[in-house]
Structure 1
Amino acid sequence: MGVTIHRVDWEHADAVRLRAAQRRELDERYGSDDHEPGIIPSADDVPVFLVARDSAGEAMVCGGLRPLDEPDLGDAVAEIKRMYAAPEARGTGAAASLLRGLEDEARSLGIRRLVLETGTAQPDAVRFYTREGYAAIPLYGHYVGSALSLCFAKDLTV
């Protein structure tokens, strides 16, 4: 499957559609209560948002970068936000391509470390990030004390 990665605005229709699909899936896994600690991501704090498109141009994976000011995590850190692969894209390599695109964008911004939070009911995400070189770290920021959160990080080479 040929995949292309595109930078889009947070409010681009494909980005909105994929994030809505992610929310529906998370609600199925965790219930519809607010299951995300911390500040909800927005166009104001996620300056980089990417979508991966298949050879027909259909957007099927998304993810963004939110710069962080968390001294405990070090300098030049960003958080991966709203990483989501539509079910039909899973196992195709599209999510890995998008993740590499986020890493490249981070490097171009001088980011030296990426962190992320995923949930205890997402073993598929844990396997994915681990396979892609992300290591488990202690809960950080708004996730400290969350019984549903798992956090990961990867140091980027420049």
Structure 2
Amino acid sequence: MGAAGWRIVANTSQIRKLYVDDLVTASTARSTGVGRALLAHLEEHARTADCTALKLDSGTHRSDAHRFYFRERMAVTAFNFVKPLA
């Protein structure tokens, strides 16, 4: 139905955060609460691990995902810039 890949990262801006590398829900399971349950589980894990934030990046073309993140009370706090080197 859904899966998440994540890691705990220490840095200077957020001290300790849970970073979500992948958050996916099967297309047939969307809008059934699977994504919400995954995010709730990740948030609880982050709190238990004394993280100050739960963070993820999402491609600019993922407008359906963005609507979901906004509904889950997540905020856009930065731009992510990339310069390909190869």
Shorter-normalised TM-score: what interval? 0.7 to 0.9
Q: 2:12: which partner in 1?
A: 71
Number of residue pairs the alignment of both structures matches: 83
After TM superposition, the runs of 4+ consecutive aligned structure 1 residues lying more than 4 A away are none
Confirm whether residue 146 of structure 1 aligns to residue 82 of structure 2.
yes
State the TM-score, normalized to the length of structure 2: 0.86
CA distance in 1, matches of 2:18, 2:41: 14
Unaligned runs of 5+ in 1: 1-59, 148-158
CA distance in 1, matches of 2:26, 2:60: 19
Q: 2:25: which partner in 1?
A: 85
Larger Rg: 1
Q: 2:70: which partner in 1?
A: 130
Of 47, 68, 76, the residue aligned with 1:107 is 47
- CA-atom RMSD in angstroms: 1.6
CA distance in 1, matches of 2:4, 2:60: 19
State the TM-score, normalized to the length of structure 1: 0.49
- The one-letter code sitting in structure 2 at the alignment partner of 1:99 is L
- Tell me the percent identity: 31
CA distance in 2, matches of 1:65, 1:121: 22
Whether the aligned pair in 2 keeps the contact of 1:79 and 1:114 (CA below 8 Å) is yes
**Greater RCO between the two (CA within 8 Å, min separation 6)?**
2
For residues 83-139 of structure 1, the C-alpha deviation after alignment (integer angstroms, 9 at most, x for no partner) is 000100101011101110111111111112111100011001111111101000113
Unaligned runs of 5+ in 2: none
Q: 1:156: which partner in 2?
A: none
The alpha-carbon deviation at position 145 of structure 1 amounts to: 1.6
